[in-house]
Structures are given as C-alpha cells and as structure tokens.
Amino acid sequence: MVFICTGSLTTAFALSLYVICVTMLWMLKQYLKYMFFCPQVCLWVTFDPEVFFNILLPPIIFHAGYSLKRRHFFRNLGSILSYAFVGTVTSCFVTGLVMYGCVVFLKVIGQLGGDFFFTDCLFFGAIVSATDPVTVLAIFNELKVDVDLYALLFGESVLNDAVAIVLSSSIVAYQPEGDNRHTFDGSALLKSLGVFLGVFSGSFAMGAATGVMTALVTKFTKLRDFPLLETALFFLMSWSTFLLAEACGFTGVVAVLFCGITQAHYTYNNLSAESKSRSKQLFELLDFLAENFIFSYMGLTLFSFQHHVFNPLFIIGAFLAIFLGRAANIYPLSFLLNLGRKNKIASNFQHVMMFSGLRGAMTFALSIRDTATYARQMMFSTTLLIVFFTVWVCGGGTTPMLSLMHIRTKHESAWPFRLWYTFDHKYPSVVLPS
C-alpha cells in the first residue's frame, strides 16, 4: 500500500483504509444485490491472477530497488542479506512446521475437508514470509527514524520478496518420482535446491547485466541531449529485463528488482536532470497505482472469490505460525550478527523489526496465483485475513510502538560499508559512475 509520505500520518493512514474499506463496502452491496438473481456477477470483477505477476508486480518491485538509499543499504548489506536469505528460509520452515502440526490436529478432530500435505504447509510458509512494511516505512520516513533501522527493514523487505518468490517456486518444483508425490525424496530435494539457486542467481545476473548495459549506453552516447528519448529508453530497458528473464526461464520480478538497484546505483547519475526527475516520478506513479489497485482488488476478492475456505482453527494456527516464524527470523539472527557488528542491532530495534513484519501485495499475489485445490483455497482465504490484520493493526500501531521502544535517530558507520565503498569507487565506478 502506498502512502503520501509528505502529508500527515493521520491522512495517510486514513487514505489507505479508505481504499480498502470503500471497495469492500461497494462489493458487499453488489454481492447482496445480485447473489440470488445473477450468480455470474462475481466473474465480472475477476481476472487472470497472472496479471499480477506480468503487469502489476514489476513496477512495484522495480521502484523498491530504484528508490533504495544506497549509502545506508550497503552499510548494512551483510545484515540485510542475512535477514533476507537465511531469515526468510528459516521463517518459511518454522511457519511450515507449525502449520503442519495444525493440519495434523485438524485431521485428528475431523475439521479438515480435503488433502493438505507438508509441501502445502511449506508453500504457505514461503508466501507469508514475504514482508511488505510500506506502512511502517512511510511513518519511519516522516518521523526521521534511525537510518540504520530504516535500511534494515527496507532492505530486508525488498530482498525477501525476491527470496519468497523463488522459494515458493522451488517448493512447487519438489516432485518425488513414483505415485506418491508428497513423500520425502532426497533427489527431489536436491533438485528443488538447484532450482532455487539457479533461478535466483540467473535472475540476479540478468537484472544486473541489463542495468550495467543501460549505464554504458547512457554514458557513452549523447542521449542526454534528448531527455524524452532517454527516459523512454530507460523505461524500456528496465521493462525488457522482466520479459527477457521470463523468456529464459528465470523469474522476471526478481530480475527487475536487481535491475532497479543497479540502475539506481550506476545509470541514474548518467541521466540528464530532466530524465532523473521524469524517471523517478514515472516509477513512483506506476508503483502508487499498482499498489492501490492490488489492495482494492483484495477488498473485491473477499466477496467475489467463490471458493473461500475459512477454518477458524487454521486461521488461529496461521497467526501463531507467522509470529513464531518472524521471531525465529529476527532474534536469533540479530544475536549472531551482533557478534560481528561494531554498530549493534539494539533490542528495541529488534522488537520494532519483529512488529513491522507486515504482509502485503506480494503475499496476496503469490497466494492468488493458484487456488485450484482445497489446500490452496484455504491458504488464500487465510492470507487475505493476515494481510488485512497486519496492515491495519501493525501498521496503525507503529507510532505507539516507536514511542514505547524509545527509538531515536543516529548515524554510525560499519566496516562492510567501508569495504564496499572502497571496492566500488576503485573499480566499477571508473566505468559506471555512481
């Protein structure tokens, strides 16, 4: 969800609630009006879920990478990568194990209406591990919260979206040989691991390569003299990353993310002043429209989706699972990271990071992509409630949480940043200005 960070917090939060609530109320009215007279009404407001991945998610993810505050991001790069990779995988498995226990309990008491396998639980753990703390970050930006805390949360949320996409695809790719596809098979596990590493590294390489290519083109040509053409080329090169990655069997959304990071670090400074302004405004607008459309569509699907499966025990178990998964991500990793960090991640920072694990557009898009089975339908219905709850309750409680934790603004440096700064200004920046 996108917020107007330059306005008051009350207006921003009210606007976000307005987008969802008004859409939900309108859809409820339409549903009650036509449910007995026109059963096909629900089909009028639905469309292919692949639209999310092919049209709506790319501008959101690109803007996330393109708007990174590079200095603070690279200063905390080691910690961000740890939270995004190790933490997301840990959260996925902890959530999956807790949900599997919940599913077994539901089977014992006869409250499960269909098949629900361990791989389904892991898939659910993967999609709800994608955090989207846009609400929190908007408040952080306005209140000028500590830059390192902002960088840790923003960097983690950007990268763990990419990890969650590839991780969920790897779990789907887990297919043991034989009749039973849901037994443990070592070769299938290794294959899934290979898929994860291959797809992620390939997407990363393709996105970074496209960004470097654009940087070279904008530096060694006279495109600066034609700002409109320069902006158009910048946009098309960025969008082509998604298409090229998908055509090569990689994940386009992940490639677009790393393309955005590379474009911001190298290409941006080669652009003319007019193109810099245009490109930022263009992608900010696309991100705003896509985010709001997705959250509006969430309100619609709460009533228009015809195969909802709301199981109270499963929903309670899901909230418990994501809480434990987030805790297993933040606290143990923070302890280990603090052993090697000069600028420690304070306990109040850890509590805020724990509280700020909102679920948003990415979680919704991953869950709606496949609702063919009973398990996926139950996961989708539960995911909707998780997104609404975390955005409203956790997002709305951010300011009181900051006051309770006594968060202040401070600026410190760290050795990973100094190491990266030295390397970057000695080698890449000689050819690709940053």
pLDDT of residue 185: 64
Q: Which of 137, 138, 141, 142 is nearest to 153 (CA)?
A: 137
18 pLDDT tier (thresholds 50, 70, 90): low
Q: Where is pLDDT greater, at 45 or 268?
A: 268
Return mean pLDDT, the chain.
81
pLDDT of residue 394: 81
Averaged pLDDT for residues 258-270: 91
pLDDT of residue 4: 38
Q: Which of 383, 389, 371 is nearest to 310 (CA)?
A: 383
Instruction: Decide if 132 contacts 358 (C-beta within 8 A).
Output: yes
State what percent of residues in the chain have pLDDT above 70: 77
* SS3 category, 373: coil
2 pLDDT tier (thresholds 50, 70, 90): very low
The backbone torsions φ and ψ at residue 137, rounded to the nearest 5 degrees and listed phi first, read -65, -35
pLDDT of residue 1: 41
Q: Where is pLDDT greater, at 340 or 137?
A: 340
Label residues 149-184 b or e (16+ Cβ within 10 Å = b): bbbbbbbbbbbbbbbbbbbbbbbbebebeeeeeeee
pLDDT of residue 323: 94
DSSP conformation letters of 231-267 = HHHHHHHHHHHHHHHHHTTS-HHHHHHHHHHHIIIII
Instruction: Decide if 238 contacts 143 (C-beta within 8 A).
Output: no
Instruction: Decide if 242 contacts 58 (C-beta within 8 A).
Output: yes
How far is the first Cα of the chain from the last one, in angstroms, to the nearest whole number?
30
For residue 384, CA distances in Å to 13, 106, 110, 211, 363 come to 19, 21, 24, 35, 9
Lowest mean pLDDT among 6-15, 188-197, 374-383: 6-15
d(CA 58, CA 365) in angstroms, rounded, equals 12
Q: Which domains does the chain have, with CATH numbers?
A: 9-431 (1.20.1530)
**Is residue 8 pLDDT above 50, yes or no?**
no
182 pLDDT tier (thresholds 50, 70, 90): low
Q: Which of 67, 131, 56, 65 is nearest to 291 (CA)?
A: 56
Q: Where is pLDDT greater, at 151 or 304?
A: 151
d(CA 246, CA 162) in angstroms, rounded, equals 14
**Is residue 379 pLDDT above 50, yes or no?**
yes
- Angle separating helix axes 134-143 and 9-34, nearest 10 degrees: 160
Q: Which of 289, 201, 281 is nearest to 234 (CA)?
A: 281
Strand extents, DSSP E, 112-242:
none
Residues in the chain: 434
Alpha-carbon torsion, ordered 313, 315, 318, 323, to 10 deg: -100
State what percent of residues in the chain have pLDDT above 90: 32
d(CA 249, CA 15) in angstroms, rounded, equals 39
Instruction: Decide if 387 contacts 364 (C-beta within 8 A).
Output: yes
Q: Which amino acid is at 410?
A: K
pLDDT of residue 100: 94
d(CA 84, CA 81) in angstroms, rounded, equals 5
Q: Is 10 exposed, middle or buried (0-12, 13-18, 19+ CB in 10 A)?
A: exposed
pLDDT of residue 106: 93
Residue identified by tokens 């921003």 is 12
pLDDT of residue 147: 81
**Is residue 335 pLDDT above 90, yes or no?**
yes
Averaged pLDDT for residues 355-376: 86
Lowest mean pLDDT among 222-236, 240-254, 293-307, 419-433: 419-433
Instruction: Decide if 433 contacts 90 (C-beta within 8 A).
Output: no
d(CA 330, CA 91) in angstroms, rounded, equals 9
Per-residue pLDDT of 196-245, as tens digits, reads 888 889 999 999 999 999 999 999 988 889 999 999 999 999 988 988 99
